[in-house]
């Protein structure tokens, strides 16, 4: 395993139960380890944060007194990750494959002018695509590209999207900050 000096992974938790632990275990098993992991808890009451500081002592855990929502919690973490060039967002019910960060950074190298990258997300109980990016139609209708398709039906390695789904995505920290973060 190699360590990247420039990636921070942010996970925002709110009553995610056993999903959070599986998410973090998968994150720890990455072939390309992030420089930082920040887990922000939005005032969970289900015990999902219990013992995590001991199991993941090198990671940063931020416990909020009230639920500030997805956007504010992610923005808080990004504001603290000033030493990282890239921010990867990962929802607690998203279970990254071991090469998730490595593949995202390969895309960064392949497309150096692109500053946001999405993931190929499948359901964890089946092989159906949750989405491969968010798309806007000229009519103003938005949808998740490839939603509901079998992953074996998708042969696209890359492509332009309107925006990546922040459930599992990589953003240039500078561009994210210039845009004002999440609303």
Answer yes or no: do 7 and 85 share one domain: yes
Answer yes or no: do 146 and 171 share one domain: no
pLDDT digits (tens, 9 = 90+) for 70-89: 999 999 999 999 999 999 99
Answer yes or no: do 149 and 70 share one domain: no
Answer yes or no: do 20 and 108 share one domain: yes
Q: Does residue 183 fall inside a structural domain?
A: no
pLDDT digits (tens, 9 = 90+) for 150-178: 877 777 667 777 778 798 999 999 999 99
Domain CATH for 54: 3.90.550.10
Write out the residue range of the structural domain in which residue 129 sits.
120-163
Q: Which of 133, 127, 129, 155 is nearest to 145 (CA)?
A: 133
Percent of the chain with pLDDT over 90: 70
Q: How many folded domains does the chain comprise?
A: 2
Name the average pLDDT for the chain: 90
Q: Does residue 156 fall inside a structural domain?
A: yes
Q: Does residue 49 fall inside a structural domain?
A: yes
- Give the pLDDT mean for 126-137: 73
Q: Does residue 58 fall inside a structural domain?
A: yes
Residue listed under structure tokens 């390309």: 32
What phi and psi values does residue 40 have, to the nearest 5 degrees?
Answer: -105, 125
Answer yes or no: do 34 and 64 share one domain: yes
- Strands 86-90 and 168-172 come out as antiparallel
Answer yes or no: do 32 and 89 share one domain: yes
Answer yes or no: do 23 and 85 share one domain: yes
Answer yes or no: do 173 and 104 share one domain: yes
Answer yes or no: do 100 and 146 share one domain: no
pTM: 0.88
Answer yes or no: do 61 and 148 share one domain: no
Q: How far apart are CA 121 and CA 46, in angstroms?
A: 26
Q: Give, in degrees to the nearest 5, the angle at Cα 168 between 165 and 60.
A: 130
Over 80: is that where the pLDDT of 1 sits?
no
Tokens matching residue 135:
């798309």
Answer yes or no: do 107 and 130 share one domain: no
Answer yes or no: do 58 and 144 share one domain: no
């Amino acid at each position: 395993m190699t360590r990247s000096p420039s990636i921070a992974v942010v996970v925002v938790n709110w009553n995610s139960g056993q999903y959070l632990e599986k998410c973090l275990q998968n994150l720890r098993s990455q072939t390309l380890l992030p420089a930082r992991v920040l887990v922000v808890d939005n005032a969970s009451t289900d015990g999902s944060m219990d013992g995590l500081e001991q199991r993941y002592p090198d990671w940063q855990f931020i416990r909020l007194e009230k639920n500030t929502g997805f956007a504010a919690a992610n923005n808080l973490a990004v504001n603290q990750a000033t030493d990282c060039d890239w921010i990867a967002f990962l929802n607690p019910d998203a279970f990254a494959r071991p090469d998730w960060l490595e593949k995202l950074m390969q895309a960064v190298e392949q497309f150096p002018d692109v500053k946001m990258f999405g993931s190929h997300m499948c359901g964890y109980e089946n092989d159906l695509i949750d989405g491969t990016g968010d798309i806007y139609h000229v009519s103003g209708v938005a949808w998740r590209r490839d939603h509901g398709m079998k992953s074996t039906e998708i042969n696209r390695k890359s492509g332009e999207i309107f925006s990546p789904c922040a459930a599992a995505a990589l953003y240039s920290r500078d561009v994210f900050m210039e845009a004002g973060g999440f609303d």
